[in-house]
């Protein structure tokens, strides 16, 4: 954390890449993170973005990425786990790497994360989204790893290696990559139970004792990334400058609400980056 980054951008779709190139244009240092494909890359055809006609979403996305890379924007394939405001800056936890940043722009698209009962109430009290971040807290204790991402097997093995008593919960068939000493349960976690700390989980209709639950989704919901973030109908609330209710934190693109269109996302990314850069200069 010796070098503070000007702007951290979470999400590398049209909004995130637009924010990145506009921040770089204004001489700001950035880091941009994404570990998900976005909706645009899966679109069969796009006709409604000015300057592009009869183009596939994948081809358009590739052009956006090429543009960014030509401006020395390096997209890092990593997941944001937590954001902590410090007043004048933020600490951003990216898979256990702590980055200090003056401003943060959220551009992760629509959140498909559906929290389960007990998750938000027990976050930080046994509920974690990152095994490599919090695993050492649960050595010699019972922990559940919920398989909701491609990293889940690796992180379950890591926990086992550092001395955690791991149970792996998944709807998939058992994998040869999982440490054979790890207990495997096929099912879905329905609820996390406990008073001020995790005490057990409900897998389908079976209750299992546990002191920690590592919920390893591909992405973390915005409201779980940072405490106190205001939303409305599932979308992040912003003003005309794309500022959220948290000073220094911006949001752009589909995560701010309808219309869910490329042109809107690109514009909001530009506005967020320009305003963030201006605030840094001031």
Fold of 127-217: FAD/NAD(P)-binding domain (3.50.50)
pLDDT band at 13 (very low <50, low <70, confident <90, very high): very high
**Per-residue pLDDT reduced to its tens digit, 89-101:** 999 999 889 999 9
What are phi and psi for residue 255, nearest 5 degrees? -70, -10
Q: What percent of the chain has pLDDT over 90?
A: 80
- Length of the chain counted residue by residue: 282
What pLDDT is attached to residue 115?
85
pLDDT surpasses 60 at 66: yes
What pLDDT is attached to residue 168?
96
**Per-residue pLDDT reduced to its tens digit, 99-146:** 999 999 999 998 777 889 999 899 889 999 888 888 999 999 999 999
pLDDT surpasses 80 at 37: no
pLDDT band at 258 (very low <50, low <70, confident <90, very high): very high
Average pLDDT score over residue span 254-273: 96
Superfamily of domain covering 5-112+221-281: FAD/NAD(P)-binding domain (3.50.50.60)
CA dist 121 and 138 (Å) reads 19
Q: Which residue has the higher pLDDT, 271 or 40?
A: 271
pLDDT band at 2 (very low <50, low <70, confident <90, very high): low
CA dist 53 and 38 (Å) reads 20
What pLDDT is attached to residue 1?
46
CA dist 249 and 231 (Å) reads 13
Start-to-end C-alpha separation, the chain: 23
Mean pLDDT of the chain: 93
pLDDT surpasses 50 at 218: yes
Q: Where in the chain is the domain with CATH 3.50.50.60?
A: 5-112+221-281, 127-217
**Per-residue pLDDT reduced to its tens digit, 165-198:** 999 999 999 899 999 999 999 999 999 999 999 9
Average pLDDT score over residue span 259-278: 97
């Amino acid at each position: 954390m010796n070098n503070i980054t000007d702007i951290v951008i979470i999400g590398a779709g049209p909004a995130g890449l637009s924010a990145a190139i506009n921040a770089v244009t204004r001489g700001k240092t950035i880091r941009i993170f994404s570990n998900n494909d976005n909706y645009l890359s899966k679109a069969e055809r796009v006709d409604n973005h000015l300057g592009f006609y009869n183009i596939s979403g994948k081809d358009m996305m590739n052009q956006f990425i090429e543009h960014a890379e030509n401006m020395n924007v390096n997209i890092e394939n990593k997941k944001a786990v937590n954001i902590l405001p410090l007043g004048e800056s933020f600490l951003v936890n990216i898979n256990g790497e702590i980055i200090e940043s003056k401003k943060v722009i959220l551009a992760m698209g629509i959140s498909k994360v559906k929290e389960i009962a007990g998750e938000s109430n027990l976050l930080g009290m046994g509920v974690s989204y990152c095994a490599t971040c919090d695993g050492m807290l649960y050595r010699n204790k019972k922990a559940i790893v919920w398989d909701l991402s491609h990293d889940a097997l690796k992180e379950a093995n890591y926990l086992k290696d550092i001395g955690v008593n791991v149970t792996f919960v998944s709807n998939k068939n058992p994998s040869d990559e999982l440490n054979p000493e790890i207990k495997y349960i096929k099912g879905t976690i329905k609820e996390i139970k406990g008073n001020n700390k995790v005490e057990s989980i409900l897998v389908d209709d079976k209750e299992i004792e546990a002191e920690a639950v590592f919920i390893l989704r591909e992405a973390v919901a915005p409201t779980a990334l940072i405490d106190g973030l205001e939303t409305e109908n599932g979308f992040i609330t912003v003003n005309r400058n794309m500022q959220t209710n948290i000073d220094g934190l911006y949001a752009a693109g589909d995560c701010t609400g309808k219309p869910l269109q490329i042109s809107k996302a690109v514009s909001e990314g530009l506005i967020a980056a320009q305003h963030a850069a201006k605030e840094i200069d001031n």
